[in-house]
Chains A and B, each alone.
Chain A
Amino acid sequence: MALIYSGGNNVESDELFINMGPVHPSTHGVLRFKLRMDGESIKECTPVIGYLHRGTEKLGEMKTYLQFIPYTDRLDYISAFPNNYAFVKAVEELAGIEVPLRAEYIRVMTMELNRIVNHLVGIGSLLMDLGAATMIMWGFRERENALQLFEMLCGARMTFNYIKPGGVREDMPEGFIPKLNEFLKDMEKRIDDYEQLINGNEIFHMRMKNIGVISGKDAVNYGWTGPTLRGSGVDYDLRKYEPYSIYPDLDFKVCVRKEGDSFARFIVRMDEMKESLHILRQVVDNMPESKVISSAEYGIAPMTGTPSSVSTYFPRIFAPPPGEVYSRIEAPKGELGFYVVSDGTTKPYRVKIRSPSFCNLTAIPSLVKGLKIPDLIAAFGTIDVVLGDVDR
């Protein structure tokens, strides 16, 4: 439970210091809030982070490019495919690698699946903090199906290590596409269920509307990106306006809401899940037949012992030319960017990770001024922070 200490009960002001400690059911991870309260309302809120800092950026300087990819999995551990992909995209731009078309389709498929899974967890934990525990249980039921798909694809449920410079590690197994189609059909009906459960609920509206309002200009100034920014009316999605991979060929809408309060951010996430289903259907229908990993020079050995149509044997040295690159993608939580500096050796000189949760968290002190603690929980839940991403 929360560590509570009270200091500073001055004579002149009735201030109360409250510490929502690192171990707390509603801060999703080890995050600490130091709150200075004036009666019921929050006067000042200071987040304290760093409890999950593992030195990923320093490790990037000591591991080769391929050895670093599993570390990227563990950044935002709920959606690990986009993390992999962001790093691999930076490396591919540095080294100028061409990726076969089938590999791009598989990458986009996994990333969109991961987007759905991520939003399910985000919405579920938000509602669990508000008291309706049903949504998280239903969300995890769908997540289970998606995780079984991932396990079929790459053997792991949470930290995949699947996307490599030059393509993906191996091709999809036999029964994958039928099972994916089943998942898509199922998911449509379930999203309708969720909307019926939550969207019209009066009590939910009372808890979420006009809480944590931020205008579009302020949001941009704070460096917000992703669904939180689109909830404030700024129409920007990296997949649409700075497209990478095969997104130029895909047809989807960008979900934007104007109000800028917690309810708008929530609805943006629900809509994004539906758009992801739409994208997934297009990807599955148009999947080309080709290799899944590009050819010889790029140092990735196959998992199986024999050469196959999807990958070939090649040497294990991978050293991109010297240079620096900053590449960003639209991860489920926002804009995930990797700044990679290479000095021509097999290990990067510097890897800097621009994580969306870290930048979204900076606005919390000004967002919650004057709110009460239950509102802090509601507003903070819609920003969808994962501490692995914040602390790296």
Chain B
Amino acid sequence: MLFLAMWTGDIMFANTYELIVFILNYIGIYDPIYNVFKMFGLEYLLRIIIVLVEIAVLFVFILLTIMFLTWMERKVVAMVQARYGPMVTGPRGLLQPVMDGVKLIGKEDIIPAKADRWVFTLAPFLIFIPALLVFIPLPFGESLIISDLNVGLLYIIAISAISPIAILMAGWASNNKYSLMGAVRAVAQDLSYTIPLALSAIAVVLFTGSLSTVDIVTAQSGTWFGFIPKWFIFLQPLGFILFLIASIAEMGRIPFDFQESESELVAGFFTEYSGMKFAMFFLAEYAHLFSVSAIVVTLFLGGWSIPFLNLIPATFAALVPIISLVVFVIKTYAIIFFAMWLRDTVPRMRIDQLLNLGWKTMIPLALLNLLVTALLMTAGVF
């Protein structure tokens, strides 16, 4: 039925579960499998299994992306600095993340004697898992979303707010005065930049009237004057800049990475960690980088939509998810490249300058942004 008309531009399916069910139906094997489950009275189990398969695919995709990002970061930094980067392991150094992983797995897993064992072991996982959970309401492509929560944006911000707890756990459980100080500072940085982040995101919600990420993306489809896409970056330039800076600060990258600067004495909160637990922190950082870039793309750069997607003839409607996935990945990598480029260009800020920027400059600007947007909306400009 869909293949007989021009693709209308509406989203085909609400989430990936429905896409998979449609594909299985198309192949014709959905009904037999469903009947088998029905025999045992376990129809819901099929749904659970399909969703679990989706999550597994997403998980593998994210892990591969993280590994690729570690390689990409080293290559981008090296190219800016006029050198080559990893070249030895694998062709152009592509197997470098694998070698890093092997090295980290082989290291001895040390737990300090007076450390709190359970909390110490739990903290890295508590940082890594929310970094993965945040991908659930993110639309990777048209109808490629695990679950279209209707409070998607709120869920994302709430999950990102779990990390201060985990950082404090890591700093406290290390039983090291300087780890604790480092953890307290990291939490201070996190909290002071979550506020402008949330405020800038809310200004976007004013346009769509809905917190669901799919609605946000579809609100950005279409063009003005025929060629400028209706992305929110054009409607909210200040919001975009604030959101980008706040997310780079949340991630703890240069220019906000006083934790990792070796010139400072207070050790970061993860000094006592070694081996695989240490690896978890870095995997979590890159997962966070990817997820934050994806959120920026979804909120301000139109997600997976590009202007002329709805003109694809209906016979090729099956290509739309694939094209939208490619578009999404390209846009996300553009933001990631910008973050990596920023890293080698500027020096880092001192902790008090950082906090001053967050509280004294960004929060007033974010509030101003919200105010102006609300005024213009009630005046009917948008």
Q: What is A's interface to B at a CB cutoff of 8 Å?
A: 1-2, 4, 6, 18, 20, 25-26, 127, 129-134, 137-138, 141, 197, 201, 203-204, 206-207, 372-375, 377
Contacts and interface: CB of A to CB of B under 8 A. Distances in A.
28 contacts: A4-B178, A26-B262, A129-B263, A130-B263, A130-B348, A131-B347, A132-B254, A132-B345, A132-B347, A133-B81, A134-B80, A134-B344, A138-B82, A197-B345, A201-B346, A201-B347, A203-B346, A204-B346, A206-B349, A206-B350, A206-B353, A207-B349, A207-B350, A373-B263, A373-B264, A374-B258, A374-B261, A377-B263
B177 interface: yes
A158 B376 CA distance: 66
Contacts of B353: 206-207
A4 B349 CA distance: 24
Given A138-B81, A138-B82, A141-B82, A204 B262 contact: no
Q: What are the 9 tightest A-B residue pairs by CB atom distance, in nearest-first order?
A: A131-B348, A137-B81, A130-B347, A26-B263, A131-B347, A132-B347, A25-B262, A377-B263, A134-B344
B360 interface: no
A24 B151 CA distance: 49
Given A4-B265, A129-B263, A203-B255, A372 B350 contact: yes
Contact of B348 (A1, A18, A203): A203
Interface string B249-281: 000001101100111110100000000000000
Given A25-B263, A129-B263, A374-B264, A137 B348 contact: no
Interface in B326-382: 344-353
Contacts of B257: 131
A372 B264 CA distance: 10
Contacts of B177: 6
B83 interface: yes
Interface residues of B, number: 27
Nearest to B258: A374
Contact of B262 (A1, A6, A141, A372): A1
Interface of B: 77, 80-83, 177-178, 254-255, 257-258, 261-265, 267, 344-353
A204 B347 contact: yes
B264 A134 contact: no
A144 to B, nearest CB: 11
* Chain B CB within 10 A, most for which of A20, A132, A201, A375: A132
A344 B265 CA distance: 53
A134 B81 contact: yes
A146 to B, nearest CB: 16
Contact of A20 (B77, B80, B178, B265): B265
Given A4-B178, A131-B347, A373-B263, 17 more contacts: A18-B265, A20-B265, A25-B262, A127-B347, A130-B347, A130-B348, A131-B348, A132-B346, A134-B81, A134-B344, A137-B81, A203-B348, A204-B346, A207-B350, A207-B353, A374-B261, A377-B263
Contacts of A1: 262, 267
B357 to A, nearest CB: 9
Nearest to A202: B346
A132 B263 contact: no
Contacts of A374: 258, 261, 263-264, 350-351
A375 B347 contact: no
A20 B266 CA distance: 11
Contact of A2 (B81, B254, B265, B346): B265
Contacts of B254: 131-132
A83 to B, nearest CB: 29
B83 A137 contact: yes
B355 to A, nearest CB: 12
Contacts of B264: 373-374, 377
A130 B261 CA distance: 8
B245 to A, nearest CB: 12
A207 B254 CA distance: 14
Nearest to A197: B345
Nearest to B177: A6
B346 A133 contact: no
B304 to A, nearest CB: 34
A130 B82 CA distance: 20
A141 B345 CA distance: 17
